[in-house]
A and B are shown apart, each in its own frame.
Chain A
Amino acid sequence: MLTEEQIERYSRHIILKEVGGKGQQRLFDGRVLIIGAGGLGAPIALYLAAAGVGAIGIADADDVDLSNLQRQVIHFTPDIGKPKVESAREKMEAINPDVKVRTYKEWVSAANIGAIIADYDFIIDGTDNFAAKFLINDACVLARKPYSHGGILQFDGQTMTVRPGESACYRCIFPEPPPKDAIPTCSQAGVIGVLPGVLGTIQATEAIKFLLGKGDLLTNRLLTYSALRMRFREIPLKRNTACPVCGDNPTITEVRDELDALTVCDLKAP
């Protein structure tokens, strides 16, 4: 039962035909994991907390760095040096004391990802490297966890939602990580600060719609966004029967680390 304070806090949700008190209860009962407390993770964490998603996990091993603040809006200047997950948790709890935040100060890897995602209904990939993206895809497909993929670089972003066994997965379109020399190095990989705000907010929207059971998810479609040209494009996708993880004869039957896909930056201590 909602308290008077909750009724007021979530009044703009409750008014919506697609939400109501019942939908708000579904959000309270929802469990969402955000992998990455950086550019994408920042708006995702803030909006999911504000929306009253009851249990939110957030995983990241990094500490807040001055160069993060241009785009990672959940971290403030006095947070420099603090673990990102701690900095994020403080803001999420400040926005909404109703939510339970669980932090994982670690990088996801083949060794730990299965146990971490097991507790959640919906997973959000807010990472910045191909190794993690493929790992998250494989782990979610194998555990049949719906998840949102998101990626940003320079002025461009892309996102898609995967319902394992029902819609195309990341490997259906990109069977393997790109060759090492095609992966941008840090100096090439600038990002305009507002970009993760757009993509992350779309990913958070998907999680909320999934929990509500309303609307159409971004499945079997890759949504791309160009901030420079201010254009969204939608590329229709379908499941690839030859997909190495979700196809008819999968070759990937357990998670593995794609070590070749780590960028130069990932290999340095932060």
Chain B
Amino acid sequence: MSTIKLDITKDHCPMTFVKTKLQLEQLEDGDILEILLTAGEPLENVPKTCKDQGYQVLETAHVEGNIHKVVIKK
């Protein structure tokens, strides 16, 4: 099992989720994806949409400023 990092702090809806999804598709079941994203719309929607599409949200944590980390398990 591996952990992949993805930075979508510079992206906007819907590219935030599009990039997350494309990355998740590349992973094996059980792999972990650590996403850096900004507060507001990305933080509200990306984990929610991941959950809706059957991925598991393990953790959401504040990193610094308006940047947060979301940990997803495939």
Interface residues of A (CB under 8 A from B): 2, 7-8, 11-12, 14-15, 17, 20-22
Residues of B at under 8 Å CB distance from A?
Answer: 14-15, 17-19, 21-22, 25, 49, 52-54
- Cross-chain pairs A/B with CB under 8 angstroms, 23 sampled: A2-B22, A7-B18, A7-B19, A7-B22, A8-B15, A8-B18, A11-B18, A12-B14, A14-B18, A14-B21, A14-B22, A15-B14, A15-B17, A15-B18, A15-B49, A17-B52, A17-B54, A20-B22, A20-B25, A21-B21, A21-B22, A21-B25, A22-B25
* Distance between Cα atoms of A175 and B50 in the complex (Å): 50
Contact A11 B53 (CB under 8 A): no
Give the A-B contact count at a CB cut-off of 8 A.
Answer: 29
Closest B residue, CB atoms, query A21: B22
Give the distance in Å from the alpha carbon of A11 to the alpha carbon of B22 in the complex: 10
A17 to B49, CA, bound (A): 10
Specify the main secondary structure of chain B where it touches its partner. Answer: helix
CB distance from B11 to the nearest CB of A (A): 10
CB of A66 to closest CB in B, whole Å = 42
Q: Which residues of chain A are near B49, meaning CB under 8 Å? A: 15
Contact A15 B21 (CB under 8 A): yes
Residues in A with CB closer than 8 Å to B17 are 15
Expressed in whole angstroms, the Cα–Cα distance for A8 and B12 within the complex equals: 11
Chain B, residue nearest A8 (CB): B15
Taking the closest CB of chain B, its distance from the CB of A219, in whole angstroms, is: 28
Distance of A111 from chain B, by nearest CB (Å): 45
Q: How far is the CB of A16 from chain B (nearest CB, A)?
A: 9
18 other contacts beyond A14-B18, A17-B52, A21-B25, with CB at 8 A cut-off?
A2-B22, A7-B15, A7-B18, A7-B19, A8-B15, A8-B18, A11-B14, A11-B15, A11-B18, A12-B14, A14-B22, A15-B21, A15-B49, A17-B54, A20-B22, A20-B25, A21-B22, A22-B25
CB distance from B70 to the nearest CB of A (A): 17
Shortest distance in angstroms between A49's beta carbon and chain B's nearest beta carbon?
21
Alpha-carbon distance between A248 and B54 when the two chains are bound, in angstroms:
45
Give bound CA distance, A11 to B19, whole Å: 9
> What are the 7 closest A-B residue pairs judged by CB atoms, nearest first?
A11-B18, A21-B22, A17-B53, A14-B18, A21-B25, A11-B14, A20-B25
* A15 vs B53: C-alpha distance when bound (angstroms): 10
Complex CA gap A21/B18 in Å reads 9
Measured CB to CB, the nearest residue on chain B to A13 is B18
- How far apart sit A109 and B17, CA to CA, in the bound complex (Å)? 48
CA distance A14 to B14 in the complex (A): 10
Known A11-B14, A12-B14, A15-B14; judge A20-B19 contact (CB<8 A): no
- Contact check, B14 vs A20: say whether CB atoms are below 8 A apart: no
B50 nearest CB across to chain A (Å): 11
Q: Chain B residues near A12 (CB, 8 Å)?
A: 14
- Chain B residues in 8 Å Cβ range of A11: 14-15, 18
Contacts of A8 in B (CB 8 A): 15, 18
**Chain A residues near B19 (CB-CB < 8 A):** 7
Residues of A near B53 (CB, < 8 A) are 17
Complex: A173 Cα to B23 Cα, angstroms:
47
